[in-house]
Chains A and B, each alone.
Chain A
Amino acid sequence: MSTASSAASRPILPARLRDAVGRNLLMVLLAVLSFGVILLLSGKDPIQSYADILRSTLGSAYGLSEVVVAMIPMLITALAVALPARIGLINVGGEGQLYIGAAFATWAALTLGYLSPWILLPLMMLLGMVGGALWAFIPGYLKAIGLVNETITTLLLNSVAPKVVGFLIFGYWHSAMDTVKTTNFVPAARLPAFFGTRIHLGMVLALVLLTAFWFVMKYTRWGLEMRAIGGNPQAARRNGIPLSRYLLSIMCIGGAIAGLAGMSQVSGFYGVLILNFSMGLGFMGFLISWLAGGDPLGIVLMSAVVAIITTGGNLLQLTRDLPYAVINILLAFTLFVVLARPRFFEGKKA
């Protein structure tokens, strides 16, 4: 879990580590037990259900690959939150930036489908990032000139973006059969998948981005300056760091990353742009980044936990005849216990 990651990423005395592992296990147990009670109340066998979740996700190569597939957008959207958080920007707008990025990429997929994939896919990535960056530019600019807080604007724009996408699909892009989605992308507009699974190139993108994030923060001048801004913006400004330029550009880069997540979902996962396809991926990214304390390794671990829960939920629905949304309860219990964790690992801000 997230705290395990922060335990691993810094030197901690063995006794303290043991303590941390114990606490984490206790937290997980608490979440599992609470959801077990809910399952029991709705007439299901909790032990059987949990066995199903584990067997379907970690117990088979296919299940494991599906967990990885589910992790891809979470990793990228979490990074879109973690990066701006380093300079104190709260980007709640991953959801909206993801939608606009997906729309930009879809435009290329639909109109330039005759291009070779070697040109088309990089173009779609670029457009996805441009779309997300543009959507983040509005809150970034308003924040940089000191007019409106970015938390509020990113949140509001989240609700606007899916409707803009709906307008585009419904008005211009919908397929002949269906008004809530576009025609399927041509093969050239699909991110390649590996090993006969649904794991696509987005996974590589996500890992490269996370590594780059870690490297930039730790070893470059930009990272140093960003950490300075995160520590004390006014002190950083007085030391000659261009504060508002950083605010604007980092917000846009965060948006670009979220836009790339949108591109990777429509091109790699769905192969088509569907109305309301995200269902909270951007919000999930915010939660993951916050719970992981913005730490790259923590993001990977936390995404894996969330992905196991949501992927397992798919199976729970099939064999236990519970509505799929019920898995959100297990997810929420896990989040609750992590949020309510004792103030043990102080220090890191999300």
Chain B
Amino acid sequence: MTLLSLLGVLSSAIFSGISLLYTTLGEVIHERSGIVNLGLEGVLLVSASSGFAVTVVTANPFLGVLVAMIAGALMNMILGYLVIRREANQLASGLALMFFGFGVSALIGRPYVGAKINALPRLPLPGLGNLPKLYSSLFSFDILIYLAIPCAVLVWWLLFRTRWGLGLRAVGENADTAYASGRDPRLIRFQALFLGGLLAGLGAAHLSIAYTMNWSEYMTAGRGFIAVALVIFSRWHPLRAIVGALLFSGAVAFQLLLQSSGVQISPFLLDTIPYILTILVLIAWGGNRKQSAPASLGRIYHGTE
């Protein structure tokens, strides 16, 4: 095992984990307001395909990222209409949104299968410019990677250090009480879904425009569900979401390392690590669950009399 291959593993693990971090952050925001989005898989697919399509057409990856974000937010608005306005069941609505995303993304992405794009430009890590090209190319990251952790801190600040975040968490704990203290639970949930959709769109954009640089049907391969799992793993906290995404990246890196060193462990089994760890973590703190999950997660707000 050479240093070069080790660094290569590290670099590709970072690339594969970053889309998850953004998606998880988005899900943290709207789960904090009390809404589970099981349709995240569909949201990611629609964002990834529309972002990719716009990048192909305009040859501008930044425009692609923007469109992906807007697409994510609009998808979440559909969920918002169903579960907030029509008071439909969140799990069923999320799954319906997932099927919607399967269809819409296939339709949008169809003409662009196999298209070449200008990917998001990659900038070398500052201070590593003098390294041999072989090394520095491994550590050239796109802007979304550099912004991922600041973004997690920003979400933390929004949720825990602003009035808006306080209101949002209050709605997630008890919508009636939040209403009594002068907040509009429905409006706040819509805002949370919109913001969460923007972040999911960022994650999806990184996947199709920066990382894989192509579009294929079902390309997200379960990332939406991994993100839902990571939200629980990180106990609805944006900073712990970084740890969750690292865990996923670590599993990917571990898998690549084993493969390159000739050890035969089925990649299928390694893929299960994030889920099994999440279940174990849930069991470990099963007793004091109340301190972390938003109390009215999944509940319908029928309005206050």
Contacts and interface: CB of A to CB of B under 8 A. Distances in A.
Given A326-B103, A326-B107, A92 B91 contact: yes
Contact of B99 (A38, A42, A164, A335): A335
Contact of A153 (B222, B266, B279): B279
A171 B266 contact: yes
Nearest to A146: B286
A326 B107 CA distance: 6
B82 A340 contact: yes
A156 B266 contact: no
Contact of B103 (A157, A167, A331): A331
Interface in B283-305: 283, 286-287, 289, 298
A339 B88 contact: yes
A290 B283 contact: no
B96 A148 contact: no
B160 interface: no
Given A163-B272, A339-B86, A340-B82, A329 B103 contact: yes
B79 to A, nearest CB: 10
Contacts of B283: 142, 147-148
B155 interface: no
A151 interface: yes
B268 A286 contact: no
B106 A326 contact: yes
**Chain A: interface secondary structure?**
helix
A323 B107 contact: yes
Contacts, number: 132
Nearest to B281: A148
Interface string A164-200: 1011001100000000000000000000000000000
B275 interface: yes
Contacts of B78: 336
Most buried by A among B103, B228, B268: B103
Interface residues of A, number: 49
A91 to B, nearest CB: 11
Interface string A87-115: 00010100000000000000000000000
A110 to B, nearest CB: 18
Given A153-B282, A326-B107, A290 B89 contact: yes
Contacts of B211: none
A3 interface: no
A261 B269 CA distance: 24
Nearest to A349: B89
Given A286-B91, A339-B96, A152 B232 contact: yes
B81 interface: yes
Contacts of A64: none
B91 to A, nearest CB: 6
Among all A-B residue pairs, the 4 with the closest Cβ atoms: A328-B103, A332-B100, A325-B106, A329-B103
Interface of B: 38, 78, 81-82, 85-89, 91-93, 95-100, 102-107, 110, 217, 222, 225-226, 228-229, 232, 266, 268-269, 271-272, 275-276, 278-279, 282-283, 286-287, 289, 298
Interface of A: 38, 42, 90, 92, 138, 142, 147-149, 151-153, 155-160, 163-164, 166-167, 170-171, 280, 283, 286-287, 290-291, 322-333, 335-336, 339-341, 343, 350
28 contacts: A42-B107, A148-B289, A153-B279, A153-B282, A159-B225, A159-B272, A159-B275, A160-B272, A160-B275, A160-B276, A163-B271, A167-B266, A167-B268, A170-B266, A171-B266, A283-B98, A286-B91, A286-B92, A323-B106, A324-B106, A325-B102, A325-B106, A328-B99, A332-B96, A333-B100, A340-B82, A350-B89, A350-B92
